Structure 1
């Protein structure tokens, strides 16, 4: 009888020891989890934020005041439907409220990610810009306003020169044709593409405000983009 009792007590002690071991293990796991969460939070708070990217804004097509406190940079593709949406539905409103009032400027660089049409249209845009900055923006608006479906191959030399003529740009159209055909500004285009790739841009349009890359939810939503510009204005005033 006493032997059975001792066995029972020993079993209970083993069970208690095992339960204590499991409890200690849970405490250790919870503690490590808590430390891990604190470590992640500390990294988020103290991890150095990437420095704003710098541009020579005066060496790209520029819309607005060159000395504006907020400088918006768009990397776009004239073949890209989302870029057309951005230009016609978002940037057009930003232009009225911020660019035309001198608070912000818009610069443009190419990122030709869709296909051969992207490259040809970009070369045309660069050729026009190097003749006349204001003419570039009329061409920019015309291409996006009348952008054919992405599935079509439309950016021929004839189409691009005819589009420029229809806008009465007042440039040398023969030189424009020559520059497109000879790919006069291919190196400049390559440098812009390489910049986008080097900084891990994920699509077009890629939009930056004072050198800070915006996510798509901010760039492609008017209210969110407006908030980002307002924030940049306040930071510039400090």
Structure 2
């Protein structure tokens, strides 16, 4: 091989090495840029999630605390109680029946009877046609005798029929009130059910549920903030204490 040819071969090999090195450097910079972009995106997403969680007061919440017109809702406990618990329920809902038996009595004993909290109820009648019938009957009882409402509330859940059957009929609802010896006018109760006297009020309740993004029953709000789990008494207690401290700081 001549000297000039050897030099050309060496030069060509050197150029290829330089090009290969340049390509490796380019790929390295691209990988670094890509990783950096991913890390920035992760940091931004995490920051937004933390901010959203902080603003809602509970993960998965819908924003600032819900605002309720407490004066227009059935209430168990003192109106001036610092903690206001709002339950969204459907009288045909089996889970609501479990809440009424397993959680509500403990809330009554620990918080409501001691004046620390009051419990309010919002109808969310969505399971079947007789969900609305039961709610209309309960509203009639409430407007006749606000204290009798809670006796009727307990009786409806205690005598709850099959979720898939239409059991909350006019006759059943009136007879239940009679069996419980509620201090109300039973003929008026029947008339209110037939005439759907409180249909507008029931529509208002369902609208409140929709506005606050309530999609299941029972749902419990504590001073406007949705409870993380309506069946976890320990979590509810912690959230009530947190709400109490926040109320005291205001």
Unpaired runs of 5+ in structure 1? none
Whole-Å Cα distance in 2 between the matches of residues 79 and 35 of structure 1? 49
Q: Which residue of 1 aligns with 2:26?
A: 21
Is the counterpart of residue 229 in structure 1 residue 240 in structure 2? Answer: yes
Conservation of the 8 A alpha-carbon contact between 2:66 and 2:212: no
Q: 1:207 offset after TM fit, Å?
A: 1.5
Q: Which residue of 2 aligns with 1:137?
A: 150
Whole-Å Cα distance in 1 between the matches of residues 144 and 187 of structure 2? 12
Q: Which residue of 2 aligns with 1:85?
A: 98
Q: 1:45 offset after TM fit, Å?
A: 4.0
Whole-Å Cα distance in 1 between the matches of residues 79 and 117 of structure 2? 9
Q: Deviations over 1:61-92 (max 9, x none)?
A: 10011111110001110001111111111122
| 1:5-154 to 2 correspondences below 5 Å | 5-47=10-52, 48-49=55-56, 50-154=63-167
Q: Deviations over 1:104-126 (max 9, x none)?
A: 11000101111111000000000
TM-score (norm 2): 0.89
Secondary structure of the 1:168 match is: coil
Conservation of the 8 A alpha-carbon contact between 2:128 and 2:166: no
Secondary structure of the 1:112 match is: coil
Whole-Å Cα distance in 1 between the matches of residues 152 and 247 of structure 2? 32
Q: Deviations over 1:178-222 (max 9, x none)?
A: 10111000000011111212332121112111111234xx22222
RMSD after superposition: 1.5
Q: Which residue of 2 aligns with 1:3?
A: 8
User: Which deviates further from its counterpart, 86-95 or 102-111?
Assistant: 86-95
TM-score (norm 1): 0.94
Whole-Å Cα distance in 1 between the matches of residues 157 and 13 of structure 2? 85
Is the counterpart of residue 188 in structure 1 residue 201 in structure 2? Answer: yes
User: Which deviates further from its counterpart, 38-47 or 193-202?
Assistant: 38-47
Q: Deviations over 1:41-72 (max 9, x none)?
A: 33234455422222221211100111111100
Q: Which residue of 2 aligns with 1:208?
A: 221
**Structure index of larger Rg:** 2
Matched pairs, number: 236
User: Which deviates further from its counterpart, 2-11 or 92-101?
Assistant: 2-11
Q: Which residue of 2 aligns with 1:219?
A: 230
Q: 1:229 offset after TM fit, Å?
A: 1.1
Secondary structure of the 1:75 match is: strand
Unpaired runs of 5+ in structure 2? 1-5, 57-62
